[in-house]
Structure 1
Amino acid sequence: MHTGVGLNLDGNDVAKPASPVTTDRRESMHGRYVACAEQRVLHPPVIDKSPTRSIHSKTRGGRSIAEFIHQVSNHESFESDKANMKVALNIVFILAAGLIAGLVLRASRQNAPNEVPEGAVVFTNDQPLDVDATRNDEPSKPPEDEAWLSRFELIERSGRKVSSEDLKGRPYVVSFFYSTCPSICVSQNQKLRELQDEFEGQGVRFVAISVDPETDTPEVLREYATRFGADKDQWLFMTGDLDYIRRVGAEIFRQPVDKQFHTERFALVDAAGEIEGFYSWPEPRQMDKLKESIRGMLDDQT
């Protein structure tokens, strides 16, 4: 039994009996300590030394983190697929609407009545192109019941005025051009050069009228004429006022002309000043017939 230490009257330590309550408390604490030590020895605590949680650790819902991440990823992929599907459907609807509108418009055009002039040739995409049908070998002729010619007067490259009255007595070929034209006019004047060479020294003349008179002054036309070897008496180059030339082309030679705009036709005028016909110079057969007509007129003069 544990005893306390006391102090007697003589100053010497004397043994003093311990309190019963204190003795019981100490024995209880000692028992608890021994039990706790035994528990630690038998069941040591497991310490998680990893700095982060494992991906296979469980969440509060009982799922692993890997399962949770997989579910979130699937949800985002599903939302993305839904958005792409909406865009694809919108594109399909737009294409379908355009296709339906095109079919309706085509059907309405096919059902609409088309008035085709008698003798006209109509070309469509519903049949293969017939090359022979597109070829035009015959020159057009002016109506016999209309007076096509009236007087006109223009300035030749020499600076002198030349009128339609001055040109009577000999057949002549009329063309429209402008000197700065880079392609068509050059080819056209080369055709006139061939005619000049073939009928050199004979009675036919060639009259080239500019549709850009502001640029094509007599000085410019003189230089331009030398490029094609134009004879000053047989091949005339004419200029004047643009508005007046528009009227000459439309009212006399029945050809639409404007500034730097003209047709690809030659007008053949006989010795009496009457238009015999219009010949498309890019058509080889029409050029052959133009030559035949010129020869016929020259033969009639002899």
Structure 2
Amino acid sequence: MGIKRRSISALVPVAVAAAIAIWLYLGKDKPESSLPVYQPNGLNPEYVHPDLRHIRANHRIGDFSLIDQDGDTIGPENFQGKLFVADFFFTRCPSICPVMSRNMEKLQAYFREEPMLKLLSISVTPEYDSIAVLKAYANEYQAIQGKWHLCTGDKEHIYDLARKQFFAVTDEGDGLLQDFIHSPNFILVDPDKRIRGVYDGTKDEELERIISDIEKLLESEYADPG
């Protein structure tokens, strides 16, 4: 019995060392994205519905149903297993929207051959932005079918998405073209439907930052196993 006990004791350090070596080997070349997961309580309260401002954990983008520039129904299933960048806009916007759309076009060009990334732009004036209007706008910014969805839909549904899911509009409007004011934000959503970044879509430096963050996620948390 004494011999067996000594043999087992001698093997314990060897097993521990082997486990540590395997752990180091498997993790040494895998970079950490270090990107936060954003929760409603950590975002600008101006854009968060009052009922949700206390939430500190487990927020995910929920179900939605929209119609894109090609007349296709768009929902979470279109982004299954994908990263995507969302924004809110309207085609008659004379100020920030053209800049945002141009930067979305640049994002599309940069990640043109990356199947893991898609884009979603949602109109805050669906009563004006019909499928035909969105199609013309999509053509102007060279939106690729299936890559960049520019969407319309039920106004109340879009409002709930903006205030309770993506946190991208206020509830104050001018009563004319907009019943609510949208932000210039690009919202980065991961395949687990979590918000991983919020960026000012009108600024070049923010465009560089979102590209860098997308690449971090693609290289670490959502790297192609093949």
TM-score using structure 1 length? 0.51
Provide the residue aligned with 1:178 in structure 2: 90
Write the mapping of 1:64-103 to structure 2, written as runs, cut at 5 A.
none
Where do 4+ consecutive residues of structure 1 move more than 6 Å?
Answer: none
Provide the residue aligned with 2:208 in structure 1: 288
2:148 to 218, 230, 235: 235
Change in CA separation of 1:140 and 1:179 when aligned onto 2, cut-off 3 Å: farther
Provide the residue aligned with 1:16 in structure 2: none
Provide the residue aligned with 1:301 in structure 2: 223
In the alignment, structure 1 residue 268 sits paired with structure 2 residue 185: no
TM-score using structure 2 length? 0.67
1:156 to 43, 68, 73: 68
- Greater relative contact order structure (CA < 8 Å, 6+ sep): 2
Provide the residue aligned with 2:38 in structure 1: 141
Residue 285 (structure 1) shift? 3.3
Write the mapping of 1:95-244 to structure 2, written as runs, cut at 5 A.
141-142=38-39, 145-203=57-115, 204-244=117-157
Which amino acid is 1:296 matched to? K
Provide the residue aligned with 2:28 in structure 1: none
- Alpha-carbon displacement from aligned partner over 1:100-130 (angstroms, at most 9, x marks no partner): xxxxxxxxxxxxxxxxxxxxxxxxxxxxxxx
Distance in 2 separating the partners of 1:196 and 1:141: 24
- Alpha-carbon displacement from aligned partner over 1:164-218 (angstroms, at most 9, x marks no partner): 2331211000001111112211111011111111111212111000001011111
Which amino acid is 2:38 matched to? K
How many residues align? The count is 165
Secondary structure of the 1:173 match is strand
Write the mapping of 1:251-262 to structure 2, written as runs, cut at 5 A.
251-257=164-170, 260=178, 261-262=181-182
Change in CA separation of 1:195 and 1:206 when aligned onto 2, cut-off 3 Å: same
Whether the 8 Å contact between 1:172 and 1:205 is mirrored in structure 2 is yes
Change in CA separation of 1:140 and 1:159 when aligned onto 2, cut-off 3 Å: same
Distance in 1 separating the partners of 2:71 and 2:201: 29
- Alpha-carbon displacement from aligned partner over 1:52-106 (angstroms, at most 9, x marks no partner): xxxxxxxxxxxxxxxxxxxxxxxxxxxxxxxxxxxxxxxxxxxxxxxxxxxxxxx
Residue 264 (structure 1) shift? 0.5
Change in CA separation of 1:256 and 1:266 when aligned onto 2, cut-off 3 Å: same
| Structure 2 residue runs without a partner (length 5+) | 1-34, 43-55
Whether the 8 Å contact between 1:207 and 1:238 is mirrored in structure 2 is yes
Provide the residue aligned with 1:96 in structure 2: none
| Structure 1 residue runs without a partner (length 5+) | 1-137
Which amino acid is 2:133 matched to? V
